[in-house]
């Protein structure tokens, strides 16, 4: 039997979308509350897999490379930097950039390299090498 | 459309000269819309390129609100500014330029109805031409100082006198996804003279540099001739200012299958 488009399908789809939005809203609220509480700005960031590891970028506008503190602790990458925005002011004073990014398992910490260009921090890391090759019969 | 109901609504809302109401969206016009205006689409999308351009135009040209747009398909959000309260989706006007911009991304479910009804409004109001600016995500953007601008148009004769199309690269074969894709498609279908400009940009970070490149390409269009140095100078502050809108837009882009823009269409004729 082929796929049939029905009111039931549409209702389920709408319910699913509403649930997805609810989860997204909760995550956004949690992050904004964290920013308020900790007087920090969580920078926009993304992590992409590469052929031998991961590439992480973080948007840190207005920051010079000497001002960034990048720490690998446990299984996380912690980034802090001053934020001199004229717009982002809170009662706790000038905020700072802060984010703790959980990393996937198997990162070779000796391969972590970082560079900064126009306020965009790029962090490259490789997975631990090893394993054994499997012969194809 | 029930005219008496419309009159009552206008009287209740005050200051609205006309309500152009379609199936899902209401276009509340604050003053009569003149024929022959140039329409600029600055809806949030990749790198918020169009939105940054639109906001820059609204500020630089001291534009005034022309149309406030509302719908049950939009979240119940209002913008507060200087004791005024208005809808997040608006069209601003200065001379013969009308600029569409939004403080919120259009929810994916509302993209198609909005696009259809916006095109219908544009045709009814006899707009002269449509320019839509968006970003085209490119992983090489961090290494690029001067982002490349690509274009697509259904009416080169309308735009070639003001935009150096030969200096830009045509968008030959690609997927477009999201609000820009839907709006361009509807404009093409309605045969409105349309120019889509797509600038190499970051996907998930606000990109004022790409916005400056788009405006530089449109510099000879008299309505869009503004100084772009401020965009470059205050670029870092802008990236922070647009952070929340970018985050919300990222969610909608994921639902709109934005990753298709990284794929190649399989139909080759």
Any CB–CB contact under 8 A between A18 and chain B?
Answer: no
CB of B250 closer than 8 Å to CB of B164? no
Task: Sketch the domain layout of chain B as residue ranges.
Answer: 35-67+92-262
Dihedral sign from CA coordinates of A91, A97, A101, A107: negative
- Specify the pLDDT at position A120: 93
Rg over CA atoms, chain B: 18
| Domain formed by B35-67+92-262, architecture | 3-Layer(aba) Sandwich (3.40)
Distance CA B196, CA B181 (A): 9
Identify the band that residue A90 occupies on the pLDDT scale cut at 50, 70 and 90.
low
Any CB–CB contact under 8 A between B124 and chain A?
Answer: no
Yes or no, beta carbons of A17 and B255 under 8 Å apart: yes
Any CB–CB contact under 8 A between A40 and chain B?
Answer: no
pTM: 0.86
- Specify the pLDDT at position B167: 87
Site of tokens 């952070």: B243
Any CB–CB contact under 8 A between B156 and chain A?
Answer: no
Yes or no, beta carbons of B237 and A28 under 8 Å apart: no
Distance CA B160, CA B25 (A): 33
State the greatest distance between any 2 C-alpha atoms of chain B, in Å, as a whole number. 59
B193 is written with which tokens?
């003279």
Within 8 A of B206 by CB-CB distance, chain A residues are 59
In angstroms, what separates the C-alpha of B170 from chain A's closest C-alpha? Answer: 28
Yes or no, beta carbons of A87 and B241 under 8 Å apart: yes
Yes or no, beta carbons of A44 and B241 under 8 Å apart: no
Please check the confidence at residue B153 and state whether its pLDDT lies above 80: yes
pLDDT in tens, A19-31: 888 898 999 999 9
CB of B119 closer than 8 Å to CB of B39? no
Most A-contacting residue of B203, B206, B243 (CB-CB within 10 A), to test interface: B243
Identify the band that residue B2 occupies on the pLDDT scale cut at 50, 70 and 90.
very low
- Specify the pLDDT at position A2: 53
Please check the confidence at residue A92 and state whether its pLDDT lies above 70: no
Most A-contacting residue of B201, B204, B232, B239 (CB-CB within 10 A), to test interface: B239
In angstroms, what separates the C-alpha of B99 from chain A's closest C-alpha? Answer: 25
Yes or no, beta carbons of B142 and A57 under 8 Å apart: yes
Distance CA B202, CA B136 (A): 8
pLDDT in tens, A97-127: 999 999 998 899 899 999 999 899 999 999 9
């Amino acid at each position: 039997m082929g796929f049939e488009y029905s009111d039931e399908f549409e209702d389920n789809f709408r319910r699913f979308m509403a649930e997805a939005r609810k989860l997204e809203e909760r995550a956004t609220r949690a992050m904004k509350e964290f920013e308020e509480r900790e007087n920090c700005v969580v920078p926009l960031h993304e992590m992409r897999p590469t052929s031998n590891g991961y590439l992480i970028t973080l948007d840190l506008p207005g920051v010079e490379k000497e001002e960034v503190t990048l720490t690998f602790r446990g299984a996380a990458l912690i980034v802090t930097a001053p934020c001199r925005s004229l717009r982002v002011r809170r009662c706790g004073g000038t905020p700072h950039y802060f984010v703790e990014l959980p990393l996937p398992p198997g990162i070779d910490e000796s391969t972590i390299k970082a560079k900064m260009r126009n306020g965009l921090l790029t962090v490259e890391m490789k997975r631990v090498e090893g394993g054994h090759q499997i012969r194809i019969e | 459309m029930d005219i008496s109901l419309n009159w009552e609504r206008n009287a209740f809302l005050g200051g609205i000269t006309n309500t152009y109401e379609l199936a899902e969206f209401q276009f509340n016009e604050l003053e009569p819309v003149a024929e022959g205006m140039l329409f600029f689409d600055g809806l949030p999308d990749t790198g918020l390129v169009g939105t940054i351009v639109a906001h820059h135009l609204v500020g630089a040209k001291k534009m005034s609100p022309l149309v406030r747009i509302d719908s049950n398909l939009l979240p119940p959000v209002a913008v507060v500014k200087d004791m005024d309260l208005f809808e997040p989706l608006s069209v601003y006007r200065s001379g013969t330029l009308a600029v569409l911009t939004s403080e919120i991304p259009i929810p994916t479910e509302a993209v198609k109805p909005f696009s259809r009804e916006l095109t219908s409004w544009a045709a009814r109001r006899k707009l002269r031409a449509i320019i839509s600016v968006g970003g085209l995500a490119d992983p090489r953007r961090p290494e690029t100082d001067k982002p490349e601008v690509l274009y697509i148009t259904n009416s080169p004769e309308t735009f070639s006198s003001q935009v150096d199309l030969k200096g830009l690269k045509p968008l030959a074969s690609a997927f477009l996804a999201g609000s820009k894709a839907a709006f361009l498609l509807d404009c093409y279908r309605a045969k409105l003279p349309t120019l889509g400009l797509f600038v190499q940009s970051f996907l998930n970070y606000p990109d004022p540099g790409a916005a400056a490149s788009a405006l530089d390409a449109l510099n000879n269009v008299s309505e869009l001739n503004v100084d772009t140095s401020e965009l470059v100078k205050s670029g870092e502050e802008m990236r922070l200012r647009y952070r929340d809108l970018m985050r919300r837009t990222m969610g909608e882009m994921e639902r709109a299958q934005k990753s298709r823009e990284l794929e190649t269409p399989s139909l080759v004729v």
